[in-house]
Structure 1
Amino acid sequence: MGEQMQAKAIAKNVRITARKARLVARNVKGMPVENALNVLKFTPKKAANIIYQVMRSALANAEDQLAGVDIDAMMVKDVIVNEGPTWKRFMPRSQGRANNIMKRTSHITVILSE
């Protein structure tokens, strides 16, 4: 009776830096799911749409895997954004030089609990 029902979803190798995604993730942590989805829908950042999709996936996982769970009572327990692999590219510069370009990726995990 003391254990909470949890559902989670993970998006790996998402093409956004972890630092930018954490700014959005911090805003929705601890909120009820319905409020968090509304906040994400109207946040004008690329990370908001990605986290929105992962949260919808976690909600679908909860509905599918956890029998008898109240979807309306779900809360965002945690949104974890970790760094993924970095794509290394280069930009040709003058006089035969080259500059590095680091295209960073991240892994986003959303954990919902009742």
Structure 2
Amino acid sequence: METLSTLVPAVTAGYGHAKSIRFLDHLMARVGVDGLVAALRYPELMTLVNLHEAEVRDSVALDAVGVEPVALADYAAVILGDAMRTGRLLPADPGEVDWLDADWYLLRLVAVCAVAIDSDCL
């Protein structure tokens, strides 16, 4: 069974569009849904997510063409890989996260999910 941690090497190795979509889908299930719901509930959190979204778009947008799933998944895999290397894992239960006090990497991954939705990558 594929998980985010097993897909990180596959995505960063350039395994293509299908694995990138699966990675983004797993990311949405693990942090995106709960993080975005919390952002809708708390305007201050939405502001933070929007700032992260802008940074994500600046990092992965291909000129005026927009955002491609492979580039977005690769970006998210780097963020997740860096977090995992420093001992910060995704929450076992994202519903238990205090999203108003969430770590930077979680907010950035939620922003990746928001960009994926806005860019029709999911």
Pairwise same-fold verdict (TM > 0.5) = no
Question: More helix by proportion, 1 or 2?
Answer: 2
Q: Whose Rg is larger? A: 1
TM-score normalised by length of structure 2: 0.29
Question: More strand by proportion, 1 or 2?
Answer: 1
